[in-house]
A and B are shown apart, each in its own frame.
Chain A
């Protein structure tokens, strides 16, 4: 073999060795990539499977909550009126009135009365609830507060009886005469002439 042939042989051998080393290493790296992608696909598949019903469930929950909000807002406006309702909202959550009620877009333009300055927080709400209110626990069988403007006595009855109302039943006035419940034996000396005392010796 000539010297030139030997150099060629060495060069080709080096090229083949480089090809073998780098290609095998590349194959190993690609296999690791494939295995990793398999795990990625499995994880993504689980994510897709687990999150599939989430959209429907969350939509259902939102619909239920929207119905609840509309119910409460409608009841509040129906019972308190738009103006007082916004005043109550503003009193309980300062700054919330300008945003208005969701079911009543026109409520944003209503000027809210300052109910919160007259009543303590929540008292108006509890008073409007009547018998169901905790403050009415002492008089659960009392009259329901219906006339919120004129029924001040009914409102006072909701509070514990400290000084507002009289005792439930005072002792009755004594009955005299033949119709009296308690009849007493008549004394002999009543109405009789006064006894004369013996004269004192002087």
Chain B
């Protein structure tokens, strides 16, 4: 009886344990490249956003442009007659 148990332990249990542990190890190792890729993409995305502060300059330029547009439009409003008046 002990012989049977010993053989089962050696032939069945040990391979099963090795198989299960190998599966866990392979799963853990397969995650590593994905995490490395995600980290690289996150770093690249962060670098892409380095130009985001330039939006403040764009905002200032747009405000100035619209301000100049309003001034120019006001001048045109004074210079040109309205369509109803011209007709």
Contact = CB atoms under 8 A, between A and B. Distances in A.
B21 A19 contact: yes
Interface string A87-98: 000000000000
A131 B79 contact: yes
Nearest to B46: A46
Contact of A29 (B9, B28, B58, B86): B28
Nearest to B83: A81
B77 A10 contact: no
B67 to A, nearest CB: 9
Contacts of A130: 79-80
A54 interface: yes
Interface residues of B, number: 53
A61 B14 contact: no
A12 to B, nearest CB: 8
Interface stretch (A67-75, A103-111, A165-173, A194-202): A67-75
Interface of A is mostly: helix
- Chain A, interface size category, equals 35 or more
Given A36-B38, A78-B83, A26 B25 contact: yes
B10 A11 contact: yes
A43 B43 contact: yes
Contacts of A26: 21, 24-25, 28
Contact of B66 (A4, A18, A64): A64
Contacts of B49: 46-47, 50-51
A18 B17 contact: yes
A146 B13 contact: no
A202 B4 CA distance: 183
Interface of B: 2-3, 5-7, 9-10, 13-14, 17-18, 21-22, 24-25, 28-29, 31-32, 35-36, 38-39, 41-43, 45-46, 49-50, 52, 55-56, 58-59, 62-63, 65-66, 69-70, 73, 75-77, 79-84, 86-87
23 contacts: A7-B6, A7-B7, A11-B9, A11-B14, A18-B14, A19-B21, A29-B25, A29-B31, A33-B35, A39-B43, A40-B42, A47-B45, A50-B49, A51-B49, A54-B55, A57-B55, A57-B58, A64-B63, A71-B66, A71-B70, A79-B76, A129-B76, A146-B86
Given A18-B18, A64-B63, 18 more contacts: A4-B3, A10-B10, A15-B13, A22-B22, A23-B21, A40-B42, A43-B41, A47-B49, A50-B46, A57-B58, A61-B59, A64-B59, A65-B66, A71-B70, A75-B73, A75-B77, A78-B82, A146-B80
